[in-house]
Amino acid sequence: MGCVDYNDEAKAISTNIQINPPVEFTVGGNLSDHTVTLTSNTGNTLTAKTDDKGVAEFNQIIPDVYTISASWDIDQAEYSAATGKVASEGYFATISGNVNNQLITSADKINLNTNLVAGASLLISKMYYAGSKDNNNKNYSAGQFLEIYNQTNSEIDVSGLYLGLIETNSTPAYSLANLKDVYKDSVVLCKQIFRIPTKSSHMIAPGGTIILTNSAIDHTVNGVHEFNLLTADYEAKDVTGKTVNNSATPALDLIFSSFSGISKMNILNGGPNGIIIFRTKENVASFKTTYAYGKTSGTLYSIVPKKYVIDGVDILKYSATGIDIATKHMSGDTDGGYININSINGYNGEVIYRKTSTRRGTDGHKILQDGNNSINDFQTSTTIKIREYDE
């Protein structure tokens, strides 16, 4: 019988993650007691707290490829103390850092650079794309929806707001390296773009939401994990008539679609999905288009400048071998991380939703977590309801 050589067996190691403060922190800044998270491509997570020098020590971890992330909130006083500058009343921001596909095999110290992310006005706060099993145990996806939240202390008019669905091929039409090479990392590619109608204003109160869906009906009659969307604000009408639409719900304007004959939101039950919201006075219907990298024919995608983007969420596909970080469609300044449901093909009733921070608005409304890093900002649920942000 042959002998087995265990010399190459993976042995547990220790490693340190050094958090580096944002460039704006010219005076100081507290780097202690912040949580650093390691996420393997199979979804396993490890956490450790930083010491007063910003170092998080991880002991007895298995050598592997990890995503490293950290984020925490700062208020007006903390900003002023760290930068030496005076912030406006009610100022808040998030310090966030993320490194994808980091191979950790030794005790060498790894640097995690962070950025200062000012609080956004409107946030993509919830998305139900998975669908569920209906009362007859069949796949059901008609009740997919997207929710957008007003973080600010003032009303916001959302008329004219654009929703972009990012191209989400399993092999990206443009990899992040391609986007950097060709477009200097200044754009995102969309397969569909919708707009909230501009015929009249639509004001959202502080802490208020809008819901966008393909079918604004009561889906709870069809499955226990579904939602009553009769109060949805806008509907992407299906010109084919295959989706049940609600004549009382206003229609989203379809500005661009990569797919002839598809007018509803093209959302994949198992992922990947990518979403942006943006504003511009330019004629979005006239934005330049492109084929996949190196191609001169096939599917066309709209080229949206990132300077117009308010918020973006990168949703990756879960698979039997883990999460494929190589399929990320958004660079770090749009979404440094990612989120996913825990199902390969979807239909498990999971919703992704944004966590609530410890801050509150002047009228007491919730301020959601916005670290520009969906690993830290989002979580999943099968029980949360529409227009809710805590379980």
DSSP-based three-state secondary structure for 111: strand
Band the pLDDT of 42: cuts 50, 70, 90: confident
* Three-state SS letters, 141-210: CCCCEEEEEECCCCCEECCCCEEEEECCCCCCCCCHHHHHHHHCCCEEEEEEEEECCCCCCCEECCCCEE
pLDDT value at residue 106: 78
Segment 56-67 shows an average pLDDT of: 92
Percent of the chain clearing pLDDT 90 (strictly above): 73
Distance CA 312, CA 165 (A): 10
pLDDT the model gives residue 108: 78
Which residue in the block uniquely carries the two structure tokens 């004219």? 160
C-alpha 62/C-alpha 68 separation (Å) is: 14
Task: Please compute the mean of the pLDDT values over residues 186-197 and round it to a whole number.
Answer: 98
> CB atoms < 10 A from the CB of 308, how many?
18
Asked whether residue 2 carries a pLDDT value surpassing 70, the answer given is no
Predicted pLDDT at 157: 95
- Position 89 scores a pLDDT of 60
Residue 247 near residue 190, CB atoms below 8 Å: no
Q: Whats the size of the chain, residue-wise? A: 391
Give the pLDDT confidence score for residue 269 in this predicted structure. 95
pLDDT digits (tens, 9 = 90+) for 21-38: 999 999 888 899 999 999
CA distance 368 to 121: 11
What are the tens digits of pLDDT across the range 247-270?
999 999 999 999 999 999 999 999
Residue 73 pLDDT greater than 50, yes or no: yes
DSSP one-letter code for 228: B
Instruction: Give the pair of three-digit tokens for residue 224.
Output: 């226990």
Exposed, middle or buried, 161 (CB in 10 Å: 0-12/13-18/19+)?
A: buried
> Do the beta carbons of residue 284 and residue 173 sit within 8 Å?
no
Contact 133, 158 (CB under 8 A): no
Residue of 269, 224, 226, 270 whose CA lies nearest to 244: 226
The share of the chain scoring above pLDDT 70, in percent, equals 95
On whether the CB atoms of residues 323 and 347 are closer than 8 A, the answer is no
Please tell me what DSSP assigns to residue 120: P
